[in-house]
């Protein structure tokens, strides 16, 4: 499994006329990481932040795996 930023597609949400980019968590489930949808809301927010900062140096795919 390769979770580099090139494989994780961002989605865009428009709020008050401004675009916000985020990483949809269902991408992980499509890549075979199960249980993401059952995580508490607070953990989902933290996980999305990890996905956003994934660089394979400081934050690696091991940080994303559940």
Predicted TM-score of the model (pTM)? 0.70
pLDDT at 23: 86
Q: Where are the domains of the chain?
A: 11-60
Long-range interactions of 55-61: CB distance < 8 A, separation 24+:
55/5, 56/4, 61/1, 61/2, 61/3, 61/4
Please report which confidence band the pLDDT of residue 55 belongs to, taking 50, 70 and 90 as the band edges: confident
What is the per-residue pLDDT across 23-51, written as a single tens digit (0 to 9) for each?
A: 888 888 888 888 999 999 999 999 888 88
């Amino acid at each position: 499994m390769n979770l580099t930023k090139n494989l994780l597609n961002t989605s865009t949400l428009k709020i008050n006329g401004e675009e916000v980019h985020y990483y949809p968590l269902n991408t992980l489930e499509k890549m075979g990481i199960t249980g993401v949808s059952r995580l508490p809301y607070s953990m989902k927010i933290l996980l999305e932040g990890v996905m956003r900062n994934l660089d394979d140096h400081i934050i690696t795919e091991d940080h994303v795996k559940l």
